[in-house]
Amino acid sequence: MSGWRPWLKKELEKQGHAVFVPQMPHPDFPKEGEWVEKISETVGTPSEKDFFVGHSLGCIAILRYLETLPAASKVGGVVLVAGVMKDIGIPELQNFFAKPINWQKISKSCEKFVAINSDDDPYIPLEHANILRKELGAKVVVAHGMKHFSGSDGFTQVPIVLEELSSLL
């Protein structure tokens, strides 16, 4: 666990929340099925008390997980940080976009979405957040100068993520 995730986990635990940060399998060669299975294993039986925070490829993994839920299952909310919503030309990520995203099924599993993107992300243009606004009615927050919100960019805390998640809780 790196970047701002340890900070977010600690802040949420201070508020009394149980927080799980699963280590996704094969991060250098990610496979949609493996990532969705890891989320499913971590969550167990989903409920409206479950909230998700994803970063980058983790965002589409969360959405793909929501696609798998039975019709009656609902989760409380989702915060998507620098989320990739369509193929961006990186071969290792293309398997996450091999089939169309089932926006209708996702929206039935969750009603509260927030997309947080940076105005200077070198990988994910703001267009990706606008896809989430259009397809899921997501609230879009544009942060200034946060690049890809990565630890390698020096971000060990991202208060806007905590603020937006807290507004959903």
Homologous superfamily of the 6-15+30-40+50-112+126-158 domain (CATH): Alpha/Beta hydrolase fold, catalytic domain (3.40.50.1820)
Is-catalytic flag, 148? yes
- Active-site position among 50, 118, 128, 148: 148
CA 167 from chain center: how many Å?
16
Residue 143, token pair as written in the block: 């942060």
What are the backbone dihedrals phi and psi of residue 27, each rounded to the nearest 5 degrees, phi first? -60, -25
What are the backbone dihedrals phi and psi of residue 53, each rounded to the nearest 5 degrees, phi first? -130, 125
- Single-letter residue type at 25: P
pLDDT score of 67: 98
pLDDT score of 1: 62
pLDDT higher than threshold 70 for residue 114: yes
Is-catalytic flag, 26? no
Question: Can you give the pTM of this predicted structure?
Answer: 0.97
Domain ranges of the chain: 6-15+30-40+50-112+126-158
- Band of residue 2 on the pLDDT scale cut at 50, 70, 90: confident
SS3 content of the chain, % helix, strand, coil (to 5): 40, 10, 45
R_g of the chain, CA atoms, integer Å: 15
Question: Residue range 31-46: average pLDDT?
Answer: 97
- Active-site position among 50, 55, 118, 121: 121
- Active-site position among 50, 55, 56, 128: 56
Is-catalytic flag, 144? no
Span 137-164, pLDDT tens digits: 999 999 999 999 999 989 999 999 999 9
